[in-house]
Amino acid sequence: MKPYIFLLISFFVTASFIQSGNAQTDKSTRPSPPRETKGTYKEAEVAINYSSPFVKGRTIWGDLVPYGKVWRTGANEATIFETDKDLIIQDKKLPAGKYALFTIPGEKEWIWIFNSEWDQWGAFKYDVSKDVLRIQSTPEPSPVYHEQMAFMVTKDRVSLYWENLSVSF
């Protein structure tokens, strides 16, 4: 009888590990779930894949997201910006391709960074030498409060909305 009890316990322990392992790979259950935004910017098809955090009563700008430091522009993995055609942004060329999209938020100015090392976790291994393009923009108050961070792609701009802020290029 003892071998059967051992096998039964082993089965339940193994099943428990398998189930918890599947929960870890289901990104939709994360506190900052994955989102994708697609649209036409200028003449290119653009896709932005990111993990979308919530405000949850926290102070975002200058606190959770510090000013003057590289931010992954979302949560979890680095945000991915992909374009099917070369883009000219602020008179600078961004070749067609896939990039990690980082930002350096500031109270009066933001820096957008397109980095060739797109497949990475957060900005922990951010390498400035892999930057392909940097541009600047000015944050503005958002006309609408955004509890969950979101991107929007339109014909003439790419915008990030979160909390009470909007920032675009």
Q: Given pLDDT bands bounded at 50, 70 and 90, which one contains residue 25? A: confident
Where do the structural domains in the chain lie, given as residue ranges? 1-30, 31-168
Q: Are 130 and 117 in contact (CB under 8 A)?
A: yes
Tell me the three state secondary structure of residue 152.
Answer: strand
Residue-level pLDDT at 19:
47
CB atoms closer than 10 angstroms to residue 49: 20
Model confidence band, residue 41 (pLDDT cutoffs 50, 70, 90): very high
Lookup: tokens for 73: 């522009």
pLDDT tens for 100-157 read 999 999 999 999 999 999 988 777 789 999 999 999 999 999 999 999 999 999 999 9
Could you tell me whether strands 158-168 and 140-153 are parallel, antiparallel, or unpaired per DSSP bridges?
antiparallel
User: In whole angstroms, what is the distance from residue 122 CA to residue 150 CA?
Assistant: 17
| CA pair distance 54, 74, nearest whole angstrom | 10
Place of tokens 């958002």: 142
Q: What percent of the chain has pLDDT over 70?
A: 83
Number of C-beta neighbours around residue 78 at 10 A = 26
Alpha-carbon gap, residue 123 to 65, rounded angstroms: 12
pLDDT bin (cut points 50, 70, 90) of residue 6 is: very low
- List of E strands, the chain: 34-41, 44-51, 75-83, 87-89, 92-94, 97-104, 110-115, 131-137, 140-153, 158-168
Cβ–Cβ under 8 Å, residues 169 and 158: yes
Is this prediction's pTM over 0.85?
no
